Chains A and B, each alone.
Chain A
């Protein structure tokens, strides 16, 4: 008798264990009215914005976090069945991909016009809401400031063998390659990729690039500015021994990458989604970004970043159309170069 009972007990335990995660998933803030955001931007940043947005409007926001092309890929695979209402990225190539599949709902003029025209596509299907500048981080004990290159393209030359590092699998570096491609054409990009493949050391992630340069393992690294600035604010542990070099002069190395926001046309919460993207570009939303830990540049001219970061106006970036950036071509070229 006891045996039968213990078997029943086992079965009941198993059933409970199976049901538990379902309950846990439902038990949270499961809200059918929440705006679903596929978020490839840094989670803490968007959480902070979403929190204030909910406070102001009463509209709740659910985040699904991932990386640029991972989520763009997912959106394309999901097609019209996707539960997503809003897509946010770190760089614009992923936005261009989703846009090329016609999945975005054009944004309202008021939302768009707050952002300078060069940081949004001409079709108005999505908009930029933050920017990040390409920089060369260098270790002054390994290379003097006078020896730094005038152009990003110089790094492919033989003088730079073993002196440069980057993170080829990241969407950030791929956006930079896309800018080189848009500015210099395919042949020059191929030659450049072959050169930096031969010269460079690859890492997984810009934080690792920064850390390795700071530790003196390699003289320079191609990253975005805020990795260094944030580390300075956090502890300086991975940046105190290194400095930032801005190419400026409209060099490809001064490329400013645009973080994009768009509303999915097939989402269930169109109006609320539009409100969220509108909030993101509004002075209020941009202020939250400016005051956050992120140290990315705000794009609404009313709200400059105004922190201890090189001012946006002094960057002198090259003119690259945000929808000209072709991520698929870039991946192809990087694959051919053996970087992917």
Chain B
């Protein structure tokens, strides 16, 4: 058996992939177990009530609205920066990626403290979209950077207009990036807690948190988690159907060339206006508000020791979490792209599903499991890192997968034919080809961990505080001023990773 697998060259990685997926399934297993032991009558009583319908409406409408807005904004921005003669595109690219450095709950805090009118459906869509559109913008930009012009030129030579050529010959090849980004946004919305709590917009995740905070048995919360998992599976299915099985890597020989930029001409002014407006809303508002609270609150003080400690543990946890997550994502991504098939697809989808669980559900599952089966691991850094890896695996996966899909499989085959083992080929050829994706993935996970709140609260070793937990505890006890320095550090801590991400997806330099 092992030998057969080994001959096919998949065995070590398949096994690793399996282990990775099994680890990510711990929280789901916990929910399933809890739901089953609850019994159908109790479960029905918890699910069949008006409140659940209200949450379902809220959650779905927010998800649809946010995914639509972020997709349009993300793709449009990517097009303007990469495919037009927009000036200072390097600057625009940096500015458009920068909102990633402002965590969604800091952004919400900024908006809510300026105007409570954002505490509505439209407000929630606006604020959450402003935080999440870079999740679409960056992968689409990265894909556009390497997108060859030839198919579009062929389409144009056959008489299609520029616009139609873009839609028929370029967009389909960008689809994996667009869908991947939209999927990430959808999953984020399902799991978002801090931002929505501040925006006073109730979804399943905030309601589950409310339940965990107020009920001890947690049955109601677990039942709501079950619904959330179902929503996530539906979302993944929709994306899977949309993606289809088409190949998007280059098949031709020679060096690729990107398309000629569209001349904006008189359209440059309104385009600039829109871009400036977007940056003001996504970046200007939260930073202005932060500055305001730094200046106004008399509780604003810089407890340097506490700040330094929180910063140190945040950066340490984020580096560790990003590394572990990437180590888990790489074999999985390779399986999905290079060994397409039902098994690898199911493995990948299962890994994504774990991500839609709110941090609090993953954390409580790990608390229960570790206390029962590994008491010495309870409330230690490894379990916390595992929680991060479970939560953020999809971010790493999407990035690595994206670049792996565009890396010609032929090079792997050549390496194998020259006598390298599957493992050596993976390390010496594949890893190198996907390096940009790995970098982007590391940065994405670093960002996510440094702003993670609920899992950190429950699983971190006693006495460990992070910037996010300090920010939250201050802002939730009316200490807006005291929260501000932590928010500032959160933003600063996220800057290096954002810069790196932004560089990974850097648009082509303007040719003279």
Contacts and interface: CB of A to CB of B under 8 A. Distances in A.
A28 to B, nearest CB: 6
Looking at A21, A83, A328, which has the most chain B CB atoms within 10 Å of its CB?
Answer: A21
Interface string B455-484: 001100111110001000100111111100
A21 B381 contact: yes
B312 interface: yes
A159 interface: no
A331 B210 CA distance: 10
A212 B116 contact: yes
B291 interface: no
Nearest to B469: A65
Interface string B31-49: 0000000000000000001
B237 interface: no
A243 interface: no
A237 B296 contact: yes
A234 B298 contact: yes
Contacts of A74: 367, 458
A204 B381 contact: no
A340 B219 CA distance: 13
Interface stretch (B259-267, B320-328, B346-354, B494-502): B320-328
A73 B218 contact: yes
Contact of A14 (B218, B296, B323, B461): B323
Contact of A338 (B51, B212, B214, B427): B51
A227 interface: yes
B367 A77 contact: yes
A45 to B, nearest CB: 9
A69 B477 contact: no
Contacts of A36: 462
A1 interface: no
A216 B481 CA distance: 22
B381 A208 contact: no
B194 to A, nearest CB: 10
Nearest to B446: A17
Interface string B422-462: 00000110000000000000000000000000000110011
A174 B214 contact: yes
A3 B210 contact: no
Contact of B462 (A83, A328, A335, A338): A83
Give the interface centre of A30, A70, A210, A217 by most chain B CB atoms within 10 Å. A70
B473 A331 contact: no
Interface string B187-206: 00000000001101000001
Contact of B198 (A204, A234, A327, A340): A204
Interface string B108-124: 00001000100000000
Nearest to A84: B462
A3 B473 CA distance: 47
| Chain A residues touching B, range | 35 or more
Contacts of A334: 214
Contacts of B384: 21
A63 B214 contact: no
A22 B213 contact: no
Contacts of A97: 216
A20 B313 contact: no
Contact of B427 (A7, A23, A174): A7
Contacts of A22: 320, 381-382
Interface residues of B, number: 66
A275 interface: no
Nearest to A60: B463
B163 interface: no
B210 A169 contact: yes
A25 to B, nearest CB: 5
A30 B461 CA distance: 10
A244 B132 CA distance: 40
Interface in B355-380: 367-368, 371, 375, 378-379
Nearest to A4: B428
A63 to B, nearest CB: 7
Interface in B298-348: 298-299, 309, 312-313, 316-317, 319-324, 326-327
B371 A77 contact: yes
A326 to B, nearest CB: 12
A98 B116 CA distance: 38
A20 B216 contact: no
B323 to A, nearest CB: 4
A207 B116 contact: no
Contact of A81 (B50, B200, B378, B473): B378
Contact of B197 (A17, A20, A30, A204): A204
Interface in A313-340: 327-328, 331, 334-335, 338, 340
Contact of A230 (B50, B473, B478): B478
B375 A42 contact: no
Contacts of A327: 214, 216
A233 B298 contact: yes
Interface in A35-77: 36, 42-44, 62-70, 72-74, 76-77
B211 interface: yes
A340 B322 contact: no
A69 B463 contact: no
Contacts of B200: 202-204, 208
A211 interface: yes
Given A24-B312, A69-B214, A335-B220, A62 B319 contact: no
The 6 closest A-B pairs by CB, nearest first: A169-B210, A24-B316, A17-B323, A21-B316, A21-B320, A207-B478
9 contacts: A14-B326, A20-B316, A24-B317, A29-B463, A62-B462, A217-B116, A235-B297, A335-B220, A340-B211
Given A203-B200, A207-B476, A338-B50, 7 more contacts: A17-B323, A25-B461, A62-B463, A70-B213, A77-B371, A83-B462, A207-B478
